[in-house]
A and B are shown apart, each in its own frame.
Chain A
Amino acid sequence: MVPSLAFHDLTLGYDRHPAVHHLDGVVKAASLLAVVGPNGGGKSTLLKGIAGRIEPLGGSIENRFPSLAYMPQIGDLSRDFPVSVYDLALTGLCSRRGIFGRISRSDRDRAYEAIARVGLDGFEDRSIRTLSGGQLQRLLFARLMLQDAPLILLDEPFAAIDQRTIADLLVIIENWHAEGRTILCVLHDFEVVRQHFPDSLLVAREPIAWGPTATVLTEANLARARAMSEAFDREAAFCERAA
């Protein structure tokens, strides 16, 4: 069976307040999907749900991919930890080699190659605390490469990143797409989405539109998304929509 990712009447949220509300749909294998929408619209929450970091408040996520790689918006990585660029990239291999598995010479070569492909060659022995934000982001992409997962979740990978780095990282994302991997990427820059992402999902707590990017990012849809992003309702009633 072709792996796929499906949402069945999915509701995700915090303290019973939904952030993603009654989402239905299928992410087809090998698609490159941008997840867009206003702040608080449930984009990060959706990725967290897929990654299994939070449990659905309702509905379900059906994930048929054998493994996934997830890059959170704000990770747990401790930046002052004494670890070199090379060793941090190597941790990506843990998803395939496991915590106890042997790291072979060819694995090591792949790590050097990944570091070179994100443009960090020469930095291998540097401690990660000496990296800039953009350099660290490049390194995390190298780690994602080594994870070699069929499903990749990226949460705002280009926040506070300069144009040149964005361009370099987009090339990597497009390579992943060409290799047949499925990618979900949370983004705010509509220009980047229009140019590089064939499909888009627009969410503002409620799903607004999902499909080819040109049909999703229309003025009408974006206006609806803005209207939906009203304030957090403290007095919200119980949702009565049929499950």
Chain B
Amino acid sequence: MLLYDLLIGPFVEFPFMRRALVGGLAVSLGAAPIGLFLMLRRMSLIGDAMAHAILPGAALGFLIGGLSLGAMTIGGLVAGFSVALLAGAISRATLVKEDMALAAFYLLSLATGVLILSGAKTNIDVLSLLFGSILALDDPTLLLIVSVASLTMAALAMGYRGLLLECLDPGFAAGVSRHGALFHLGFLALVVLNLVAGFHALGTLLVVGIMMLPAGTARLWSDDVTAMLGIAVLAAMVSNFTGLLISYHFGLASGPAIILVAGLVYVASLIVAPLGLMRRLMPRRHLEA
């Protein structure tokens, strides 16, 4: 019974734990594959930049509509889409690289947001925006998270080949398909959607953790993108489950606990995974040819 109390009991006993688990697993399904593609595009830090772009929009929504799901979601989406699409379009049309374009527009978004909020003289609980409230997910929020996860998986399944080709060889992709812009901008839109859905659970900044850490973990275990997708989702889900339990048993904040577990999984993989440090420290015998 000890194991039951440790692993399953909390979820059976408390509805809020069940909702947190469902929300966390759904966020994992959408965000982890997105993080993997970000990593493959060498845009691992873009998620963080986008999160900063979304924050002022969400805060503004909060200012106008109070603690309402709709206002904060719409605010975050508007700010995120504007920054992502502008930066994506600018990088396709000019010499400016995507990371610089994103840096410029997310900083504009951030500064504008801070300016408006500082003028509004309202005391917003910024902490809940930053770190989310996975233990307080209501039905509409859960529905939003699950919808975004479903949409993400459907979109990735359909656009898988084009997206991979865009990551692998953008010049070649442009030569064989006129849809390059669609895949590029569509993908950025998915990044924003997942960040906005995820911030209700984990907060605008920590949601990047469930996006990128499992992706980094997956890269260390496999050289095959399909396998990496599975590993990333699995790592994200395990981190959610374990993080929630740790936060429950030790009375810790849930969001940071989940991300810390994801981080520990990454560090452990860094050491023991086939493509990690262990292979360097203990090389196997080489072959004849």
Q: Measuring CB to CB, which residues of chain A are less than 8 angstroms from any residue of chain B? A: 51, 53, 69-70, 72, 75-78, 81-84, 88, 91, 94-95, 98-100, 127, 147
- The reply to whether B225 and A83 contact each other, CB–CB distance below 8 Å, is yes
Name the residue on A nearest B179 (C-beta): A99
B91 at the A interface (CB under 8 A): no
B9 at the A interface (CB under 8 A): no
B82 at the A interface (CB under 8 A): no
- Cβ of A98: which chain B residues have Cβ within 8 Å of it? 177
Indicate whether A82 sits within 8 Å of B161 (C-beta atoms), given known contacts A76-B170, A98-B177.
no
Name the residue on B nearest A95 (C-beta): B176
- The reply to whether B169 and A94 contact each other, CB–CB distance below 8 Å, is no
- The reply to whether B40 and A81 contact each other, CB–CB distance below 8 Å, is yes
The smallest C-beta distance from B5 to any residue of chain A, in angstroms, reads 41
- Pick the 9 closest A-B CB pairs, nearest first: A76-B171, A99-B162, A95-B176, A77-B169, A94-B176, A82-B223, A76-B170, A81-B168, A99-B177
- Cβ of A69: which chain B residues have Cβ within 8 Å of it? 175
Q: Can you spell out 18 A-B residue pairs with CB atoms less than 8 angstroms apart?
A: A51-B175, A53-B171, A70-B175, A72-B171, A76-B169, A76-B171, A77-B168, A78-B169, A81-B167, A82-B40, A82-B228, A83-B164, A83-B225, A99-B161, A99-B165, A99-B177, A99-B179, A99-B183
B224 at the A interface (CB under 8 A): yes
B2 at the A interface (CB under 8 A): no
B120 at the A interface (CB under 8 A): no
- The reply to whether B158 and A91 contact each other, CB–CB distance below 8 Å, is no
Q: How far is the CA of A72 from the CA of B169 in the complex (A)?
A: 12
Q: How far is the CA of A69 from the CA of B172 in the complex (A)?
A: 9
B222 at the A interface (CB under 8 A): yes
The smallest C-beta distance from A125 to any residue of chain B, in angstroms, reads 10
Name the residue on B nearest A94 (C-beta): B176
Given contacts A91-B169, A94-B176, A100-B158, 6 further A-B contacts (CB under 8 A): A70-B175, A72-B171, A75-B172, A76-B170, A83-B164, A99-B161
- Cβ of B168: which chain A residues have Cβ within 8 Å of it? 77-78, 81, 83, 88, 91
Name the residue on A nearest B183 (C-beta): A99
- Cβ of B177: which chain A residues have Cβ within 8 Å of it? 94, 98-99
- The number of inter-chain residue pairs (CB within 8 angstroms) is 60
- Cβ of A82: which chain B residues have Cβ within 8 Å of it? 40, 219, 222-225, 228
A76: which of B161, B172, B176, B225 is its contact (CB, 8 Å)?
A: B172
Indicate whether A94 sits within 8 Å of B171 (C-beta atoms), given known contacts A82-B222, A82-B228.
no
- Cβ of B171: which chain A residues have Cβ within 8 Å of it? 53, 72, 75-77
Name the residue on B nearest A81 (C-beta): B168
- Cβ of A78: which chain B residues have Cβ within 8 Å of it? 42, 167-169
The smallest C-beta distance from A56 to any residue of chain B, in angstroms, reads 18
Q: How far is the CA of A91 from the CA of B179 in the complex (A)?
A: 15
Q: How far is the CA of A75 from the CA of B165 in the complex (A)?
A: 13
- Cβ of B173: which chain A residues have Cβ within 8 Å of it? 94
- The reply to whether A127 and B223 contact each other, CB–CB distance below 8 Å, is yes
Name the residue on A nearest B275 (C-beta): A82
Name the residue on A nearest B182 (C-beta): A99
Q: How far is the CA of A83 from the CA of B179 in the complex (A)?
A: 22
Q: How far is the CA of A81 from the CA of B224 in the complex (A)?
A: 10
The smallest C-beta distance from A68 to any residue of chain B, in angstroms, reads 8
- Cβ of B219: which chain A residues have Cβ within 8 Å of it? 82
Q: How far is the CA of A85 from the CA of B165 in the complex (A)?
A: 14
Q: How far is the CA of A81 from the CA of B176 in the complex (A)?
A: 19
The smallest C-beta distance from B221 to any residue of chain A, in angstroms, reads 11
Q: How far is the CA of A49 from the CA of B214 in the complex (A)?
A: 42
- The reply to whether A100 and B169 contact each other, CB–CB distance below 8 Å, is no
Q: How far is the CA of A198 from the CA of B205 in the complex (A)?
A: 63
- Cβ of A81: which chain B residues have Cβ within 8 Å of it? 40, 167-168
The smallest C-beta distance from A30 to any residue of chain B, in angstroms, reads 22
The smallest C-beta distance from A73 to any residue of chain B, in angstroms, reads 11
- Cβ of A95: which chain B residues have Cβ within 8 Å of it? 175-176
The smallest C-beta distance from B236 to any residue of chain A, in angstroms, reads 19
Q: How far is the CA of A147 from the CA of B165 in the complex (A)?
A: 14
- The reply to whether A94 and B225 contact each other, CB–CB distance below 8 Å, is no
- Cβ of A72: which chain B residues have Cβ within 8 Å of it? 171
